[in-house]
Structure 1
Amino acid sequence: MSDNLGVSIRMIAGSGFCLESPVPVLSPTLYAELRLQTATSLLIPTEHQQRALYVLEGEAQLDGEPLPVHSLVVLPEGENATLFAESDCHAVLIGGAALDGPRRINWNFVASDPLLIDEARRRWAAGTGRRCREKASASNCHPPATDR
């Protein structure tokens, strides 16, 4: 955790701002909690290929433009950005390396190849896929019957 001149950064996972989380990650990852006091600013460097900012509370600007609260704003790749707190601000910054290609999501199945998702659905329906724990609700334990 870093707390300096009205800016507090807590690295939840990954690394950034010369900080590193103890949480193990498998690829370059940035997941940081940011707290800025009124009238303070933070330079967000380009150390991660992809970055996005989510303001939980407070009024803030990114490079002079107002940031909507409760919205994820994607930062331009390869450009530093400056976060400015118009009031006390609580935000999270996420990012990391770009994926090697598109991903498809169907219920709890995620893959780059739709055939892998189809196979996972078949295994699940046949009872050979991983099952939910007993405490999970019934609605969470079965993929929807409809196809994509």
Structure 2
Amino acid sequence: MLEMGVTFDIAQLVADNEIVAMTKHCRRGIPVSDATLMTDEIATVGPGGEFLSAKGTLAGMRSQSDARIIDRQVREAGGEAGSPAFYETARKEAKRILAEHQVPPLPKEVSEEVRSIIAKAEREAGVAPPTT
């Protein structure tokens, strides 16, 4: 929310959604088991070995992050590679969502109830449109 809710930024909403999703994931905790600790791979690779190319490493890393718009590269590496800033990526994602998302229509009875609630609120606030 920007400026007490007076200003709205759709890219900021997408960015906030990404951060909230990451926070929810962290709050669920990290599963600890032989599989997630990769004890078999550690035994196979051994001390001083390289684990990044081990079969389960990438799968394990991906299960701990579902980030869609955050660039995980080191800042200097990302900048050199020309990766867009977080806000720019969020803005592009917001544009994509607006262009592609299809909202299913509300059932007729729900739509009528919403209109009834709005009409009542308008009457109570004295801003109801004139009836003809």
Fold conserved between structures, TM > 0.5: no
TM class, shorter-length: under 0.3
Larger relative helix fraction: 2
So what's the TM-score if we normalise by structure 1? 0.22
Answer 1 or 2: higher relative contact order, Cα 8 Å, separation at least 6.
2
Normalising to structure 2: TM-score of the pair? 0.24
Structure 1 or 2: larger strand share? 1
